[in-house]
Amino acid sequence: MVFWRNEDAVSPVIGTILLVAITVIIAAVIAMYVFGVPANVTKTRVVAVTAQLENSGEIVLMYQGGQDDDTLSYITVTASDAKKYISSSGTDGLTICPSGDCSSIVYRKPIIGEVMKLPPSNFPAGQNHVAVIGTFGGGESQVILDTFV
C-alpha cells in the first residue's frame, strides 16, 4: 500500500508569510525616513528673565538663570522706544547701543539674580514692549522674554 503525502499547502503559506514580512519591513524603513529623520532641529535653551514696571516708570529686568545658564554668552534687550541694550563687560546691567550698532561693545553674561533697569519710557503701563534675546555659545540666538509691562 502506497501513501501519498500532499505537501502543496506548505509553500503558499510560507510564501504569504514572506510577502507580509517584506511589506512590513519596507513600510517601516519608509516610515523611519519620513517621520524619524529630523533636519536641523535646534535645541530649545532654558534660561529665564522676568520684567516688571516700577512706580518710577523704569522697567526692571531680573536674570533668573536656568538649565542652560552656562552656555549663555550675553543678552540683547529691545524696548518699546526702539532702543537696543546689551549686557556688556565693565558695567552693571545693560549698555545702550549707539544707533543700534552693538559691534564695538564687549559682551558679558548676566549673573543669576542680576537686576537690570531700562530708563522710563513714555508708554503707559501695559504697553511697554520688552523683548529679551539670549545669544548662546554656538552663536545661536533665542527669544527668552517677549512681554508687555
User: Cβ(85)–Cβ(76) under 8 Å?
Assistant: yes
> What is the per-residue pLDDT across 67-91, written as a single tens digit (0 to 9) for each?
999 999 889 888 877 778 888 776 7
Amino acid at 68: D
Amino acid at 87: S
For residue 33, give the C-alpha cell: 525616513
CA angle, residues 84, 86, 88, in degrees to nearest 5: 150
CA distance 38 to 82: 37
Contact 93, 73 (CB under 8 A): no
What pTM was estimated for this model as a whole? 0.68
Domains annotated for the chain, with CATH where assigned, are 48-148 (2.60.40)
Backbone angles phi, psi at 59, to 5 degrees: -95, 125
Question: Which pLDDT value is given to residue 2?
Answer: 67
The pLDDT score that the predictor gives to residue 20 is 94
Tens digits of residue pLDDT in 5-28: 666 656 778 888 999 999 999 999
Asked whether residue 142 carries a pLDDT value surpassing 70, the answer given is yes
pLDDT in tens, 17-61: 999 999 999 999 888 888 876 666 678 899 999 999 888 888 889
Amino acid 8: pLDDT: 62
- Name the more confident of 98 and 17: 17
